[in-house]
Every structure is written in C-alpha cells, then in structure tokens.
C-alpha cells in the first residue's frame, strides 16, 4: 500500500519560515566555524610564541580553548534567554 501525503496547511511550512530557518542555520554555522577559527588561531599564536613545542600540546591547548569557548557561548546564550524571559 502506498502512502499518500495530504497537502494541508499544517503539513506545509510557509516560505518565510523556511527562509528564516536557513538564515538561522547559516548564522549558527558561521558562529561555529568562527569559534573553531578563534580556537586554532590561539593555538597557532602559542606555537609561534614557543609555548607549544610538541604536537600533542597543540591538541591539549585546543581542547582547553574549546572548553572556554563553549563556556562563553553557554553564558551568552543563558543570559540572552533569561533577559528575554523577563
């Protein structure tokens, strides 16, 4: 038995909502890749300064910078959401 799809207004999202979702996803990707770029730039800067001397140290510092970045984003999102709730 074939499945048929009803084209009711509840099954179809308006074009404006689809565009808004695409913009939101694009901004999210930009923020994500921007964060990765900042993390790696910090690692490269430490390497240029001579602080990082071994390959494994790069990953350890990148991990620590990623933790700090996640914390920063979480705090930004939490404060933004809590101010909108007020």
- Residue 71: give the domain boundaries: 19-85
Q: What is the mean pLDDT of residues 40-63?
A: 94
Q: What is the mean pLDDT of residues 27-38?
A: 79
- Kindly tell me if the per-residue pLDDT of 63 is higher than 90: yes
pLDDT given at position 53: 92
Report the domain count for the chain.
1
pLDDT given at position 80: 76
More confidently predicted of 48 and 23: 48
What is the percent of the chain where pLDDT is above 90? 35
- Kindly tell me if the per-residue pLDDT of 70 is higher than 80: yes
* Sequence-distant (≥ 6) Cβ neighbours of residue 38 within 8 angstroms: 65, 69
Q: How far apart are CA 83 and CA 86, in angstroms?
A: 5
- Kindly tell me if the per-residue pLDDT of 75 is higher than 60: yes
- Whether the model clears a pTM of 0.85, i.e. scores above it, the answer is no
What is the 8-class DSSP label of residue 75? H
Residue 71 lies inside a defined structural domain of this protein: yes
Q: Is 6 helix (H, G, I), strand (E, B) or coil?
A: coil
| Exposure on the CB side of residue 67, measured as CA atoms within 13 A | 6
């Amino acid at each position: 038995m074939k499945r048929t799809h009803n084209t009711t207004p509840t099954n179809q999202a308006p074009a404006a909502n689809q565009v808004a979702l695409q913009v939101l996803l694009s901004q999210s990707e930009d923020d994500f890749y921007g964060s990765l770029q900042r993390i790696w730039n910090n690692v490269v800067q430490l390497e240029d300064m001579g602080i990082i001397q071994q390959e494994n140290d790069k990953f350890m510092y990148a991990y620590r910078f990623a933790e700090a970045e996640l914390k920063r984003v979480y705090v930004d999102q939490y404060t933004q959401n809590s101010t909108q709730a007020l």
